[in-house]
């Protein structure tokens, strides 16, 4: 289930079986200077990306999985095979079945084939690294990038503690300023376009108190400057394991409107710090999605759970979500109820029962089939 079925480079789409890995797909597309932009963790499949509505570092420019689906082939619980639509980029023909199955976490059907949009790789892409005095300064800078209409391919934030973990890991070739730091991908059709965008971002960053502004002048430097972002999660895990082999890690996945980011990120850091738990932060800040990596001992599980609930509650209060890209699964069922309320979830339940009346596809995932049932 990992074959390439049809490739239409002139239409910028490709049909693949659901088990093909997103990395393998991009390896195949490399010679065509094309890309599938959804870039979650290593090992994810294209079908998994769609059923979870995954995204990653490229979502600021290219959107999450739902924005990159052309059509799906889905097997329903009774064995019926559904193709959601044909291959036009736009259509008003019937219900948006792509949207129904994307992000449904395997509760409505099994995705077997996916036709995805492809994007032309920028001819030139460079990375800029910009440390700031505070997270608030960094977030305000991003807000201004976006409302100024500057086109950036990726906007990522690592906090000061994360930058320390990266330094301590020894996984990169340089030592980084241990301060909240933006990692920007800047692409364009030629060097002049990229240089112009770099100058705009540098000017805005300076207005918000940036401590430095480094940018790559060639491909090797681009890889080097992005390296700190790539090793962020593993650096945190290694830092915890060096102190205690039993250490646990809890990853949050909240997202809030861009305008609320400065306030929200500051409050998140304070909430975890005040609880006395070690933590680092990485954010796909260009689309408002933040991950706190919280380290805790097994006996501190209840405390960590309480803190995470408070963080999610704050995101919801700010018109945000409990999950920007990781999904609900079983663990966030109660949080989804807090976010949406019971009526939208009851609509989902009715859709589920219409397509899967015998409840054989991931029952009690995303929401309780019996709303009065308490899950373990």
Indicate if 13 and 101 belong to the same structural domain. Answer: yes
The residue range of the domain holding 223 is: 124-229
| 141 and 202, same domain (yes or no) | yes
Q: Are residues 116 and 10 in the same domain?
A: yes
- φ, ψ of residue 4 to 5 degrees: the values are -90, 120
Extended beta strands in the chain, E state: 4-8, 13-17, 34-35, 69-75, 81-83, 110-117, 119-120, 124-131, 154-158, 181-188, 214-215, 248-251, 254-255, 279-284, 289-296
List pLDDT tens digits, range 325-353.
Answer: 999 999 999 999 999 999 999 999 999 99
SS3 315: helix
Instruction: Tell me the CATH number at 195.
Output: 3.30.70.2190
Tell me how many domains the chain contains: 2
CATH number at residue 103: 3.30.465.10
Least confident interval from 94-108, 128-142, 219-233: 219-233
Which of 258, 259, 304 shows the shortest CA–CA distance to 284? 258
In a domain, 132, yes or no: yes
Do 108 and 195 lie in one domain? The reply is no
The answer to whether residues 111 and 156 belong to one domain is no
pLDDT tens digit string along 23-39?
999 999 999 999 999 99
**Residue 283: φ, ψ to 5°:** -135, 135
| 254 within some domain | no
Residue 235 inside a domain? The answer is no
Report if residue 263 sits inside a domain: no
Contact assessment for residue 184 and residue 155, using Cβ atoms and an 8 Å cutoff: yes
Give me the long-range contacts of 370-374 (CB less than 8 A, separation at least 24): 371/342, 371/345, 371/346
User: Who's near 289: CB < 8 A, 6+ residues apart?
Assistant: 55, 59, 253, 254, 255, 283, 324, 325
* pLDDT value of position 242: 84
Q: Are residues 111 and 131 in the same domain?
A: no
Same domain membership, residue 64 and residue 91: yes
Alpha-carbon Rg of the chain, whole angstroms?
Answer: 21
Assess whether 133 and 184 both reside in one domain: yes
Boundary of a domain, candidates 93, 120, 147: 120
Domain boundary among 101, 120, 139: 120
pTM listed for this prediction: 0.94
Residue 39 lies in a domain: yes
Mean pLDDT, range 44-70, rounded to an integer: 97
Same domain, residue pair 115 and 137? no
């Amino acid at each position: 289930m990992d074959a390439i079925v049809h490739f239409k480079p002139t239409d910028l789409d490709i049909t693949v079986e659901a088990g093909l890995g997103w990395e393998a797909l991009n390896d195949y597309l490399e010679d065509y200077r094309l890309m599938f932009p959804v870039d979650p963790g290593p090992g994810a499949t294209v079908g998994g990306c769609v059923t979870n509505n995954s995204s990653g570092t490229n979502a600021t420019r290219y959107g999450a999985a739902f924005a990159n689906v052309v059509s799906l082939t889905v097997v329903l619980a009774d064995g019926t095979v559904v193709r959601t639509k044909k291959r036009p980029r736009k259509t008003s023909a019937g219900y948006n079945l792509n949207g129904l199955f994307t992000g449904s976490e395997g509760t409505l059907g099994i995705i077997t084939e996916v036709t995805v949009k492809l994007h032309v790789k920028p001819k030139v892409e460079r990375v800029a690294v910009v440390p700031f005095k505070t997270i608030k300064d960094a977030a305000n800078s991003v807000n201004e990038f976006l409302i100024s209409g500057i086109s950036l391919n990726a906007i990522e934030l690592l906090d000061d503690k994360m930058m320390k973990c990266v330094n301590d890991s020894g996984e990169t070739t340089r030592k980084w300023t241990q301060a909240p730091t933006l990692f920007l991908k800047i692409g364009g059709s030629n060097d002049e376009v990229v240089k112009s965008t770099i100058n705009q971002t540098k000017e805005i960053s300076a207005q918000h108190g940036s401590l430095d502004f480094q940018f790559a002048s060639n491909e090797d430097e681009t890889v080097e400057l992005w390296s700190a972002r790539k090793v962020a999660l593993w650096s945190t895990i290694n830092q915890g394991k060096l102190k205690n082999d039993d250490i646990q890690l809890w990853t949050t996945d909240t997202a809030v409107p861009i305008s609320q980011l400065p306030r929200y990120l500051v409050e998140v850091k304070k909430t975890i710090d005040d609880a006395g738990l070690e933590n680092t932060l990485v954010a796909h800040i260009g689309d408002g999605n933040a991950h706190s990596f919280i380290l805790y001992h097994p006996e501190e599980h209840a405390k960590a759970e309480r803190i995470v609930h408070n963080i999610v509650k704050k995101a919801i209060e700010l018109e945000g979500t409990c999950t920007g890209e990781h999904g609900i699964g079983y663990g966030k069922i109660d949080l989804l109820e807090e976010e949406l309320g019971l009526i939208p979830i009851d609509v989902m339940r009715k859709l589920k029962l219409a397509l899967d009346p015998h409840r054989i596809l991931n029952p009690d995932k995303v929401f309780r089939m019996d709303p009065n049932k308490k899950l373990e």
